[in-house]
Structure 1
Amino acid sequence: MTRPLEIAILGLSLTSSWGNGHATTYRALLRGLAAEGHRVLFLERDVPWYADHRDLPEPDFCRLELYDDIPGMLARHGAALDRADAVIVGSYVPEGRQLIDTLAARDLRQLCFYDIDTPVTMDLLDRGDEAHLARRQVPLFDSYFSFAGGEVLDRLHRQYGARRPRALYCSVDAERYRPVETPIRWDMGYLGTYSPDRQPGLERLLLEPARQRPDLRFVVAGAQYPRDIDWPANVDRIDHLPPEEHAAFYCAQRFTLNITRDAMRRLGWSPSVRLFEAAACGTAILSDRWQGLDELFPEGEAIVIADGTADALAALTQIPGRRRSDIAQAARTRVLREHTGQARARALAAALMTEPAQVTA
């Protein structure tokens, strides 16, 4: 193990998984860091939409502090930031641009960025949307940790000037995401917050199959879906599913669906945390296609790829149970070997203690 590090993270949310995938990503990583002996201060902006949906208000694996504004945060925690081995700002933090400028002006040991939305961030920067991160700020970071890898890292360096782009994929807490005994309730399900650019994939790979096969059962869990969506009668809806119920939810499905946002699908190498969570639970995954996915989960061996409704229906009706179990087990084996929170914590700690050699995850 490396020497214990003092790390400060300013992230979107640790306390609430409502409407975001950041919280479970941070929880897996921070539990891994704690298991490795590192100490983390997590600073979260206190906002009403998360305050009303906090499913982890008092984590036992880090020090959590909520703050109301940047000056108040610095008054209380500036000394801790200054002595930390590394200060990491996460993507989509409120007033992120102002926060980054403020931190860059301090004499910090290391200032890093953890982008849990890299392709979306790059798309925003290309369109001049700099609410959370300005293009000029990308070269300020000692390391730019990206949840997307592969060619995305080269583009971060060449186009945006990132000095040390490093892959730090999402990960899973294998103690909380694992197979559980529960009856199968659905032939296929999907867990994800509503996003306009994911909705066509949901329509193509779940809602249309549901319409064509009313004898099968489906479920969609996630917040912020518009009220005018026409849900087929055989599609159950769950508005919000807290993380402690995720494992049972996945295990109650024959297949779970992974849908990727447009920007992430175009650039590739962007595995969502849901992929690792479902695999760790031993549930077979059906996913849309993007470059780099096959390197993480080989097609036909550890995942089923669907390019359209016919492919999704073929998976649901033609893949026998034993074959589906073998696919699920192959994915679980890969995740437990390479994509746990503790494995990711070791990669992060090593990156923070070494010179610019690129870290893979």
Structure 2
Amino acid sequence: MKIAFYGSSLVSSYWNGAATYYRGILSALARHGWDITFYEPDAFDRQKHRDIDPPSYARSVVYPATPEALRDVLAEARGADIVVKANGVGVFDRELLEGIIANAGPHALKIFWDVDAAATLDEMRGDASHPVLAALPDLDMVLTYGGGPPVVDAYTGFGAKRCIPVYNALDPETHHPVAPDPRFACDLAFLGNRLPDREARVEEFFLKPAARLADRRFLIGGNGWETKQMPGNVRHRGHVYTAEHNAFNCTPRAVLNVARDSMAHIGFSPATRVFEAAGAAACLITDAWEGIEQFLTPDSEVLVARDGQDVADHLAALTTERAQAIGQAAKARVLAEHTYELRAVQVDALFRDHLARQAVPA
């Protein structure tokens, strides 16, 4: 049973926030017997900033970002039972989507896997010629890594045959408690790349509390922040490799999650960082968004902030003992209910059900 997966990158998280999600889902699916090939273009210096070697659970194919190489890798879709195009590859996104439809075998399951559904839907609403909108009649289903009922309703309203959220989760073998690392010592840490639809919320939920709590130490990790003006008590770490995430989460008194505008607006969209932090037993402060209770219980497993003042108030009142209690409770919750193994059970059942129905004569 073969999966051909066309995405941004499996081996690098550099300008690629979906890497943790891909690794968690695909490694768990491999344990269910799936033979996976992941196709990624050599683009955006991702290959120069690899986090991992090619993994044992998937064949990693890195192809030159050229039309000729694109045709070659798309031709391999013909031999797969499941053909997936993820969004946000960054190059040839339209051609990849059209290509999986054109090249997939007649009985293959054709999937668009949207790891930024709220933003994609906003684009579709404003562009009648959007490639995803054009592809929906030929796709068997859309999978998303968040969004809940609003995203499902929107996608089916646009004509998707099926839309099913497969939420972010935890791989406990990758993200878990480790010893503190003085490089990441601070009172509050935030990890995320600088993106246009996130920057204003980072200013509100991270930089404003830093300015108000001048006696506290703040740390920001991720790409693009080196030119951002920040208070003097904020350090910028730059790109934080996956192997450093556990120490980044375990060392500070608390870590902050800040959703992008579209994800915060639509709700039901916990970022990978939420589960990484919880798996490391970090005390997480998150901006408020609808559906948080589905994943973590406010006040006992996560602290929820409506604005920057709430973040400052949480941090000012947070003792070491309470931070540890919240972190341990969050870890227990995600291990019980939100692991990639549980997500893989869901996806495996979807895939096998489709293949079984395709095998039944009309």
TM more than 0.5: yes
User: What is the rounded CA distance, in whole Å, between the counterparts of 2:325 and 2:264 in structure 1?
Assistant: 26
Aligned ranges for residues 233-244 of structure 1 at < 5 Å? 233-244=232-243
Q: Which moved more, 1:212-221 or 1:90-99?
A: 90-99
Instruction: State the Cα deviation string for residues 318-352 of structure 1 (Å, max 9, x = none).
Output: 13333222222222112112222222222111111
SS in 2 for 1:233: coil
Tell me the alpha carbon deviations over residues 282-335 of structure 1, each in whole angstroms, 9 at most, x when there is no partner.
001111111111221121121111112221121112133332222222221121
1:352 aligns with 2:348: no
User: Is the CA contact (8 Å cut-off) linking 1:139 and 1:160 kept in structure 2?
Assistant: no
Matched, 1:75 2:72: yes
What are the Cα deviations for residues 107-166 of structure 1, in whole angstroms up to 9, with x where unaligned? 5211111111000111111222867x4312123211210112422343234421111101
Within 5 Å, give how 1:36-51 maps onto structure 2. 36-51=32-47
- Residue in 2 aligned with 1:52? 48
The runs of 5 or more residues in structure 1 that have no matched partner are 357-361
Equivalent pair of 1:172/1:339 in contact (CA under 8 Å): yes
Q: 1:177 to 1:163 in 2, by over 3 A?
A: same
For 2:199, the equivalent position in structure 1 comes to 199
**Structure 1: 4+ residue segments shifted above 4 A:** none
Superposition pairs of residues 58-69 of structure 1, within 5 angstroms: 58-68=54-64, 69=66
Larger deviation, residues 199-208 vs 244-253: 199-208
Task: Write 1 or 2 for the structure with the bigger share of helix.
Answer: 2
> Distance in 2 between the 1:77 and 1:102 partners?
6
Q: Which residue is equivalent to 2:314?
A: 315
Of residues 134, 139, 142, the one that matches 1:141 is 139
Higher deviation after alignment, 260-269 or 55-64: 55-64
Provide the TM-score with structure 2 as the length reference: 0.90
Superposition CA RMSD, Å: 2.0
Pairwise CA distance, 1:35:
2.6
CA distance in 1, matches of 2:202, 2:73: 44
Q: Secondary structure at the match of 1:196?
A: coil
Q: What's the offset of the Cα at 1:183? A: 5.5
Map 1:81-230 onto structure 2 (within 5 A). 81-93=77-89, 94-108=91-105, 109-128=108-127, 133-182=131-180, 185-225=185-225, 227=227, 229-230=228-229
Aligned partners of 1:112 and 1:143 also within 8 Å: yes
Which has the higher mean CA deviation after the structures are superposed, 239-248 or 61-70? Answer: 61-70
The 8 Å contact of residues 124 and 130 in structure 1, kept in 2 or not, is answered as no
Question: Separation in 2 of the partners of 1:329 and 1:102?
Answer: 46
Distance of 1:115 and 1:159 partners within structure 2: 16
Whole-angstrom distance in 1 between the partners of 2:181 and 2:241: 19
* Aligned residue type for 1:39: D
Q: Deviations over 1:76-131 (max 9, x none)?
A: 562x4223220111011222222222221235211111111000111111222867
- Unpaired runs of 5+ residues, structure 2, are 356-362
SS of aligned partner of 2:214: coil
> Quick one: structure 1 residues 168 and 181, their matched pair in 2 at CA, closer, same or farther if it must change by over 3 Å?
same
**Residues 98 and 233 (structure 1 numbering): CA distance in 2 closer, same or farther, change over 3 Å?**
same
- Amino acid corresponding to residue 231 of structure 1 in structure 2: M
1:25 to 8, 21, 25: 21
User: Which is worse superposed, 168-177 or 99-108?
Assistant: 99-108
2:282 is matched with 283
TM-score normalised by structure 1 residue count: 0.90
**Are the equivalent residues in 1 in contact too, given 2:284–2:327 (CA < 8 A)?**
yes
Q: Deviations over 1:56-88 (max 9, x none)?
A: 24222210011234543443562x422322011
Given that residues 70 and 99 in structure 1 are in contact (C-alpha distance below 8 angstroms), is that contact kept between their aligned partners in structure 2? Answer: no
Alpha-carbon separation, structure 1, partners of 2:178 and 2:141: 38
CA-CA distance at 1:203 after TM superposition:
1.6
The whole-number CA distance in structure 1 between the counterparts of 2:126 and 2:92 is: 18
1: CA distance, partners of 2:329 / 2:71:
47
Q: After superposition, what is the alpha-carbon deviation per residue over 1:250-282, rounded to whole angstroms, capped at 9, x for unaligned?
A: 101111111111111111111111111111000
The percent identity for this pair of structures is 31
